[in-house]
Structure 1
Amino acid sequence: HVFTHRLLHARGEAETMLMGAATVAPLIRRLCPGVEIESRDRFSQLVYAGPKKLTRLPRRSAVVAFSTDAVYAIAELIRRQRGGAAVVMGSLSPRTRNAQVALFQSGEVDFLVATDAIGMGLNMDVDHVAFAGLRKFDGRRTRWLHPQEIGQIAGRAGRYRKDGTFGVTGDAPDLDADVVAAIEGHVFQPVAAAEWRNAKLDFGSLHGLMRSLAAPPPIAGLTLSEEAQDETTLRQLAGDDTVVRRTRDRANLIRLWEICQTPDFRKTTQEEHTRLIGMMFEHLTQRDRRLPEDWMQGQFNTLDRTDGDIDALSARLARVRTLAYVANRPDWLADPQGWQERARGLEDRLSDTLHQCLMQRFIDRRTSALLRSLNQGGATILGGIGADGAVTVEGHVVGRLAGVNFEPERGDTALENRALRGAVERAVAPEVARRLGELAAEADDAFTLEGAVVLWRGHRAGEIVGGGPFSPRVRLFGEFGADTPRERAVRRLEAFVAAEATRRLSVLKRLKAAISEGQLKGLARGLAYQLVEQFGVLDRRRADAQLRALSRNERRTLKSLGVRFGAFTLYLPALLAPPANLLGAVFAELARPNWRPALAALTALPHPLPPPEALSLRGLRAVAGFAAPVAALERLDALARAAEPQAAGAVRLTPQLLAELGWKPGQAEQILRALGFQRAGRTDPAEASLWRRRAAAATDASGQQGSPFAALAPLVKTPAQQRRRRRKRPAARAAASGSAA
């Protein structure tokens, strides 16, 4: 009815221009005789595209819903699946709404989720409008949208000569064919009448004012508008005795009608709005006819804060807009200009904060920026790598480049991770290629080994994944770079690990070289071969026959190569200490993953049993169902000898001995039995038990099953008798030489 009043009573002196749809042209001719109507055809076509899933909507789409909850839910989904969306609703302040529209117009986001507020007053580059619903609450009831309403909203799609499309999405039903035809052809039912409300009001009495508001239209083509909120508020206040008494004064009645026209930006209940209007009327009809300063101050004090979520900020902002309306009434406040500035400043702060909250909730700015650049072909992606390795793309930190390995910041969604992957590849691939070349040409001192991980210049570059210490297999970290440079980098890392193994396991390498170079012969060579095969740990009983047959020179040679002849084990002591055992543990883990026994204590063997190298590489042996440290077994012998020097080869399980080894009595007894000991007769229960070696049984090759030297065992047990050659006398030698002559 306000527009109708302006149409009839707010004409220009020389000319009045009206803009509207063709459906209102017949009515305008009736209301404004002599009007000239000019038509302007739409340059672009509007075409129905049918239903589409939210996740399949084209870029530059606007999704229209008809409740705040629906707008929020759709915007959340688009954020997860497409990077984000701007949000436009009628309840937003103009400043917030314009800021959200600017996000869409600038291309920072490609989707807009809105109520039917986008149908009027907003000019945007929208290519497709999707209706998430076709029913709306119009303030009184929930009803289906009229075809012209759908057409008005769908008309946001397309611009100038660029065609647009519209459709439905989500749970919205498909549009009927006749509705689609009407929208595409812009053929709608003409407007039959304009809503009208009497502007010549009777301020003689309260009831006279209410009667004049309900007066019927004076001419055809007008229809009385439904009761507006200001009328409803007036009617409710008319039942208040104080209001009735005060409005007997004409000036107070005029003031009441002015106050009733205060808009309810808060969208609260009618009763609450009426209470606010009644309170303001009471203040404005006092002696000074102004709203008290302390009342306004109290209103602002409760609103002057920018914390809270979107709903809290929206509610606060709506109340501030109501106060801003009050402040702009020239005769309602003693200092209207001061309150106007304060209201404008608070509205701007709340609007900006609400805009930021909407962006944080409904826009993943990093993913949106990356997708935008990728959709443009990726040629314009702006990326960089900082001194600390931080990788930025389009101004957003997307991860860190450490050495040749890019460590991405994980996104919250699969979409975000895909966007990161595509953008980062363009940004860091050239730098990774350069670094791969540098890595392949580096000297050994640029690398270090921490566990199974190879560091290059302090950064993780690769990981040992298989092979042996002297022929390792290494996996290069990272996924960027061409195949050839990556293969060269892998070979360089493998060469470093092999060289590091040669340094750390030099005693094993030296023993292996002595075998291949022929430095060791016969039985010594066989023992050395077994030690190399078993990575430096060999059960002495398996080689007992060979050991007894070794000559002193052979023993001396093996000792010079680092072999120790222990009481229970032949081993290489240098492999039991760092840094050798640290590297051994790496390859032991590869031989039996996910099993990490203690290196200085007994550990129960798992099932199935680990391969021998998984024990030897850690300096362990399998004894009586335990993984026992070789050093602890030899310590057992040393402690026993020190405690009982007169009982050679015997072991007394004293508390002190057990404490030194960290073994429990039951464990110690099991190990002694497995090592070939037996309890030496009955002992006093109060005394520590004494254990002696069992009598040595005939040794056969059974203890060396699988060894290539097992076939030599019979020769060791019964060595061949050597005949001594008789020395000839000098005369006999002379005769022999004479006969030969």
Structure 2
Amino acid sequence: MASPLLRSPRGERNTVKAVLGPTNTGKTHLAIERLCAHSSGAIGFPLRLLAREVYDRVCAIKGPNQVALITGEERIEPKDARWHLCTMEALPSRPDLAFVALDEAQLSADPERGHVFTDRLLHTRGREETMLLGSATLEPMVKALVPGAEIVTRPRFSTLTHAGAKKLSRIPPRSAIVAFSAEQVYAMAEMLRRFRGGAAVVMGALSPQTRNAQVAMYQAGEVDYLVATDAIGMGLNLDVEHVAFAGLSKYDGHRHRRLTTAEMAQIAGRAGRHHKDGTFGTLAGMGAHNPEFTDEEVYAIEEHRFAPLTRLFWREANPRFDSLNLLIEDLESPPPRPELATPPQAIDLAVLKRLAEDPETAASVRGRGSVARFWQACSLPDFRQQGAETHARFVARLWQDLRHGYLGADYVAQAIAQLDNPSGDIDTLQGRISAIRSWSYIAQRPDWVLAREEMAARSRAVETRLSDALHARLTERFVNRRTTVLMRKAGGDASLLPVRVGDSGAVLVDDEPIGHLEGFRFVVDPLARATDRKLLLAAAERHLPALISQRVQALAMAAKAADGLALQDSGIVWNGQPVARLEPGKALLDPRIRLDPALDRLPVKERVDLLAALEGWLSAHLAKPLGPLRRLAEASRAEGSGPALRALLLHMVDGGGVLAREGSGLDKLDGPQRETLRRLGVRVGPLDLFLPQALRPAAMRLWSMLAALRGHRHLPPPDRMPPVLEGKTAPPGYRRLGTQALRVDLVDRLVQDAHKRRLAAPSRRLYLDPAVARSMGLSTASYAALMRLSGFRVHMPRSLAEGAFGPPGVPLWDWRMPRVADPPAPAKPVPPATGAFAALAELMR
């Protein structure tokens, strides 16, 4: 039934205190001190986020076992809790609480929730002390409605000054940009990412966890800018030095209107903290939508002078539940005093009236208990902000179960599980968070859900996961940590950047990668924006020469210690990065080294020292594998070698230590020259002259690489034995045998084995078993080709006579010494000429 007359309890003059003033006056801090000074108490806040923040502070003072947090979506209520931090809707009205405080009491004039604040202002009292915290505009209403209250006005700790309009690119660090739509918030944050490395984002649609994470990122200095909606004005304690308004009008759910001066001051008052002064202004460069404060608004905000409130919104807090019609009648009843006004239709009343018009739903609500329970369901907040029509359908579905008792556990668990999906973009995650907040609210109701604690824990866990994912998406989209670090450290001066090189070659500024070194060449991070690239290159230009000199010294030491260097594709690499290339030298085995072009800017002495270190490493690296070939080259330059031996040795070096015997000039060597070949390790085989040590894989790879420097098109050494030839040329060190090729030392082994068998055979013809050749990978045809090259002739067996049986015959081989070409016959002597012409020829000679 409607309240007849609002009167203040007797003795209220000594128990109610209204602490009024602008932002940054320490009102909330005072309330916390008074709460902790009493044996019990509660504070009501306008936001769950503020309640949680103060809950953590009081827990640190009193201990978590004695402090409760009660909101629509979260309930932490220890058994022995004596101090309660609540949202205004959840604030208990208990006579045993010694202290009660109402924060932001001027929200009694809010069209959507004002009636809740007004009811608490009129009826909620502490046994020993009640404190009303709010703007000075509330003073006339306190005097009228709570005449016994003591009014205390507190001045602002710091000065708030108008700074005019600034372009977004000129907004100073530690600023908050306030917009009034999600689209504008995203646009501002994206531009700040481009100009200043990014911004934290705070909106009313975000979950408290996400807002806390974004605010913590700003407070920790990871970003220097905050983009927010007007939700920032509700008591968030931030280290903000300047507040810039991207607009001065907003849609309030009914119409698009200009902010009131008090609303402007509430937001602008976030600038400055404690005794640190702050500034406020607007954004310029926004075309025809440039917001501008009037002179009167600037004066009012700077001097904290605002029009007082003349009415507060009121709705019957204790309606009758005899029927739906009486309930609606009481909720729409006019206020009992002229200082109070009927608010616009709130979402809970709109849902109640819509469902009451549905005959089937109305028929299911019978009796006082059923009507009261139905009103509780209609009071479910519309976290999803989808409007009365959609929200009413959601409430109607809940009522189908609530009318019979409890919501089904499987239904609640399934609804929560369907929202447990942290994938998707920002808008998708926001929608899921709004939906899970509805289920968090439902799960907190002890008379709605069985296994309430389990369901509440599940919904909180899902909300936490979704909030973490949303924070990650916001940070990924609106924060460029590299640019943030650059701007913070250098502003625009690249010489101030603290640049260093990590162990993996990454170039870091404050442990934030800006690029990497490929060898000694700086490569800008490919993910860097075009606006960052110039600054990054300038930073590298300024700092990297000294860092490269350190790397050069490390490379020289590594070369001397033969640590981490290798030859790859005719180049010298260090830890996988090219540092120099090989070029043809005076001889095939003596290449030259050309440093990487990135080292051209090194001082001359450093270049010379590095080149000497690399040449020493290369000489040592080539010494063992190519040592036998180098000895051949040195012997060819000896004075006593003679032309025939010199030519043979040079041909062997050019062939990688292999030379076909035919046409080699071996028959022109005398005994001492042949002895020189033997001392050098050259083996003379039936078909080839070869140096066994030069046929090792490491030696062949190095020789092939050096030969390629001089334009020789050799096939690379094969990976398997023997290779199948695709062309007519065999790889270096191999002899062609039909369609296959075999290394010349193995060729020599097979031929020598065949001759040993021949000499031990009792007859001229013998059987040559190809088993050893097959073990080397040669086919029978290739082995037969080798034997023919070595002077052996095959004799195929006769076929069996018709009708005869027996094992087939085997091919037999015999050997005939290869014919040596006869020397040319000496010219026959020509008899001396006679006659007159002969005498004339003699005279001419």
Partner of residue 662, structure 1: 777
CA distance in 1 between counterparts of 2:708 and 2:251 reads 68
Calculate the TM-score normalised by the size of structure 2: 0.56
Say which of 460, 470, 476 aligns to 1:358. 470
1:338-487 equivalence runs, <5 A = 352-363=464-475, 370-377=482-489, 413-414=527-528, 436-437=552-553, 440-441=556-557, 446-447=562-563, 452=568, 465-467=581-583, 469-471=589-591, 473=593, 485=606
2:671 corresponding residue in structure 1: 552
**Amino acid paired to 1:309:** P
Secondary structure of 1:357's aligned partner = helix
The aligned runs of 1:519-534 (5 Å cut-off) are 519-534=640-655
Deviations 1:541-568 (A, max 9, x none): 342xx32221111111122112222333
Alpha-carbon shift at residue 90 of structure 1 (Å) = 2.5
Q: 1: CA distance between counterparts of 2:560 and 2:825?
A: 52
- Paired AA for residue 349 in structure 2: E
| Residues 353 and 588 (structure 1), Cα distance of their counterparts in 2 relative to 1, 3 Å cut | farther
In 2: Cα distance, 1:431 partner to 1:425 partner: 11
CA contact (8 A) 2:178 2:230 kept: no
Contact 2:580 2:596 (C-alpha < 8 Å) held by counterparts: no
Aligned residue number for residue 563 of structure 1: 682
Q: Deviations over 1:199-218 (max 9, x none)?
A: 48863643243245456899
The CA distance in 2 between the partners of 1:400 and 1:509, in whole Å, is: 41
RMSD: 6.9
Cα distance per residue 1:619-638 (max 9 Å; x no partner):
34678897653334434533
Q: Equivalent of 2:639, from 490, 511, 518? A: 518
Identity of aligned residues (%): 25
Q: Decide whether the 8 Å contact of 2:725 with 2:740 is kept in 1.
A: yes
Read off the aligned partner of 2:438 and give its amino acid letter: R
1:309 to 422, 428, 432: 422
TM-score, with length taken from structure 1: 0.62
2:748 pairs with 1:634: yes
Aligned residues: 646
Aligned with residue 598 of structure 1, among 700, 710, 718: 718
1:730 is matched with: none
Matching of residues 148-187 of structure 1 within 5 Å: 148=259, 161-162=278-279, 166=283, 175-176=287-288, 180=291
Contact (CA 8 Å) 1:88, 1:117: kept in 2 or not? yes
Alpha-carbon shift at residue 230 of structure 1 (Å) = 0.8
Partner amino acid, structure 2, of 1:641 = H
Q: Distance in 2 between matches of 1:240 and 1:595?
A: 92
CA distance in 2, matches of 1:567, 1:398: 65
Change in Cα spacing, 1:78 to 1:651, as seen in structure 2 (3 Å) is farther
Indicate conservation of the 8 Å contact 1:84/1:364, yes or no. Answer: no
Q: Alpha carbons of 1:200 and 1:471: their partners in 2 closer, same or farther (altered >3 Å)? A: closer
Inter-CA distance 116–334: structure 2 relative to 1 (3 Å threshold): closer
Cα offset, 1:681, TM superposition? 9.9
In structure 2, distance between residues paired with 1:322 and 1:653: 95
Q: Deviations over 1:607-627 (max 9, x none)?
A: 9x8xx9xx54xx346788976
- Cα displacement (A) at 1:535: 3.3
Deviations 1:304-351 (A, max 9, x none): 999641649726741354147646xxxx6999xx97x98997776555
- Partner Cα separation in structure 1 for residue 469 and residue 780 of structure 2: 68
Within 5 A, what are the aligned runs for 1:685-724?
Answer: none
Matched, 1:584 2:703: yes
Question: What corresponds to 1:726 in structure 2?
Answer: none
Moved more, 690-699 or 439-448: 690-699
Shift in Å, 1:282: 3.5
- Asked if 2 retains the 8 angstrom alpha-carbon contact of 1:452 and 1:464, the reply is no
Give the direction of change, closer, same or farther, for the CA distance of 1:530–1:242 in structure 2 (3 Å limit): closer
Within 5 Å, give how 1:224-373 maps onto structure 2: 226-238=344-356, 239=358, 249=368, 253=371, 256-265=374-383, 269-275=390-396, 278=399, 282=403, 308-309=421-422, 311=429, 314=433, 317-323=436-442, 326=445, 352-363=464-475, 370-373=482-485
Change in Cα spacing, 1:494 to 1:693, as seen in structure 2 (3 Å) is farther
Find the aligned partners of 1:186 and 1:124 in 2 and give their Cα distance. Answer: 24
What's the counterpart of residue 97 of structure 2? none
Which of 83, 103, 127 is residue 217 of structure 2 equivalent to? 103
**Greater CA drift, 82-91 or 3-12:** 3-12
Amino acid at match of 1:319: S
Q: Do the aligned partners of 2:645 and 2:669 also contact (CA within 8 Å) in 1?
A: yes
1:541 aligns with 2:659: no
- CA distance 1:5–1:661, shift in 2 (3 Å): closer
Query: Alignment partner of 1:176: what SS?
Result: helix
Map 1:127-206 to 2 at 5 A. 148=259, 161-162=278-279, 166=283, 175-176=287-288, 180=291, 198-199=315-316, 203=320, 205-206=323-324
Q: Work out the CA distance in 1 between the residues paired with 2:524 and 2:767.
A: 61
Shift, 1:477, TM fit: 13
Write the letter of the residue equivalent to 1:567: P
Pairing partner for 1:92 from 206, 218, 230 = 206
Residue 270 of structure 1: how far off its partner (Å): 1.8
SS of equivalent residue, structure 2 residue 283:
strand
Contact 1:469 1:498 in 2 (8 A): no
| 8 Å contact kept, 2:502–2:508 | yes
For structure 2, the residue ranges without an aligned partner over 5 or more in a row are 1-110, 146-152, 301-306, 424-428, 491-495, 800-808, 828-845
Residue 65 of structure 1 and its aligned partner are, at CA, apart by 8.7
Cα gap change, 1:117/1:511 in structure 2, threshold over 3 Å: closer, same or farther? same
Gap change, CA 1:76 and 1:605, over 3 Å in 2: farther
SS of the residue 1:601 aligns to: coil
- Cα 1:241–1:15 change in 2 (3 A) is closer
